[in-house]
């Protein structure tokens, strides 16, 4: 049975990051962007990480430029932005595609395991974004800051759509710590 731990990611410096190294930890995997209206979620993600890392929680950021070009920078520029503007200490990895024919295999797996709950119940966010992502398939990532909670065993526990804040996720984390 495939789990998140079976995948590798690429660090911003080009090195390989085996996700199996996170076995026994809870993971929050997030596709991020520096020029998005949701970019301030970096602050909440960092606060969540600092508050829970000693309890075995890791946050992994995966920059993507697939949503209106909101992450145009190089991997080095992204790293600088995260440190300078949000004092990010959790790993922000190399830029990836999360949808489409060049999607990172990890994201193909995450989307299949947790297709999401995209719809009008997301309110103004849904109304704003629904027409900005034409051609997306069911289960595709619809926008920046989609989050996946991964169990200590590598199984996908839950997908959170972009407007769900890190503060809201902290409540769910409590049952797994």
| pLDDT value of residue 38 | 95
CATH C-level class of 4-176: alpha beta
Catalytic residue (choose from 12, 32, 36, 98): 36
Model pTM? 0.95
Is the separation of the CB atoms in 46 and 88 below 8 Å? yes
Residue ranges per structural domain of the chain: 4-176
Give the whole-number percent of the chain exceeding pLDDT 90: 82
Query: What would the pLDDT profile of 76-128 be if each residue is shown by its tens digit?
Result: 999 999 999 999 999 999 999 999 999 999 999 999 999 987 777 878 877 77
Instruction: Say how far residue 27 (Cα) sits from the centre of its chain.
Output: 10
82 counts as catalytic: no
């Amino acid at each position: 049975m495939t789990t998140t731990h079976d995948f590798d990611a690429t660090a911003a410096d080009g090195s390989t990051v085996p996700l199996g190294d996170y076995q026994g930890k809870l993971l929050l995997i997030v596709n991020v962007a520096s020029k998005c209206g949701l970019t301030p979620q970096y602050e909440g993600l960092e606060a969540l990480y600092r508050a829970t890392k000693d309890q075995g929680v890791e946050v992994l950021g995966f920059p993507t430029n697939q949503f209106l070009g909101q992450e145009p920078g190089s991997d080095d520029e992204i790293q600088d932005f995260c440190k300078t503007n949000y004092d990010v200490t959790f790993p922000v990895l190399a830029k990836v595609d999360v949808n489409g024919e060049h999607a990172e295999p990890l994201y193909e797996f995450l989307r299949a395991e947790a297709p999401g709950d995209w719809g009008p119940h997301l309110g103004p966010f849904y109304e704003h974004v629904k027409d900005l992502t034409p051609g997306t398939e069911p289960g595709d990532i619809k926008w920046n800051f989609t989050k996946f909670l991964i169990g200590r065993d590598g199984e996908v526990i839950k997908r959170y759509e972009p407007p769900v804040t890190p503060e809201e996720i902290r409540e769910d984390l409590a049952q797994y710590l």
